[in-house]
Amino acid sequence: MLLDRILSHDRPRSRWLALALLIVLVALAVAPFAFPGVKALSVAAKALVFILLVASFDLLLGYTGIVSFAHTMFFGIGAYGVAIASSRMEPGFAAVLVGMAAALLVSLLLSLVIGLFSLRVKAIFYAMITLAVASAFQTLASQLSDFTGGEDGLSFKNPHWLSPAFEPFEAPFLGVTIDGKIFVYYLIFFVVLLLVLALLRIVNSPFGRVLQAIRENDFRAEAIGFRTVVYRTWSNVLSALFATVAGSLLALWLRYVGPDTTLSFEIMLDILLIVVIGGMGTIYGAVVGSALFVLAQNYLQDLLKLGAEAFAGVPVLSQVVTPDRWLLWLGVLFVLSVYHFPTGIVGRLRALALKMPVKAKARDKEAVRP
User: Taking 90 as the threshold, does the pLDDT of residue 237 lie above it?
Assistant: yes
Percent of the chain with pLDDT over 90: 39
Tell me the C-alpha distance between 248 and 146, whole Å: 20
What average pLDDT does range 95-101 have in this prediction? Answer: 93
Partners of 257 in beta bridges: 154
Tell me the C-alpha distance between 356 and 71, whole Å: 38
User: Taking 80 as the threshold, does the pLDDT of residue 174 lie above it?
Assistant: no
Domain tally, the chain: 1
What average pLDDT does range 286-308 have in this prediction? Answer: 85
Tell me the C-alpha distance between 321 and 336, whole Å: 17
| Spatial contact of 100 and 78, defined as CB atoms under 8 Å apart | yes
Tell me the C-alpha distance between 50 and 295, whole Å: 12
Q: Residue 177 to residues 115, 182, 221, 227, 336: CA-CA distances in angstroms?
A: 47, 9, 55, 54, 41
pLDDT in tens, 24-35: 999 999 999 888
pLDDT recorded at residue 192:
96
Coil, helix or strand at residue 154: strand
Q: Which domain holds residue 156?
A: 2-368
Tell me the C-alpha distance between 188 and 251, whole Å: 11
338-345 — which CB contacts under 8 Å span 24+ positions?
338/276, 338/277, 341/277, 341/279, 343/279, 344/275, 344/276, 344/277, 344/278, 344/279, 344/280, 344/282, 344/285, 344/289, 345/17, 345/20, 345/277, 345/278, 345/279, 345/285, 345/288, 345/289, 345/292
Sign of CA dihedral 218, 221, 223, 225: negative
What does R_g of the chain's alpha carbons equal in angstroms?
22
- Domain with residue 228: its CATH number is 1.10.3470
Residue 143's H or E segment, with its range, is: helix 123-143
Q: Nearest-5° angle of CA 280, CA 254, CA 91?
A: 125
User: Taking 80 as the threshold, does the pLDDT of residue 314 lie above it?
Assistant: no
What average pLDDT does range 358-368 have in this prediction? Answer: 52
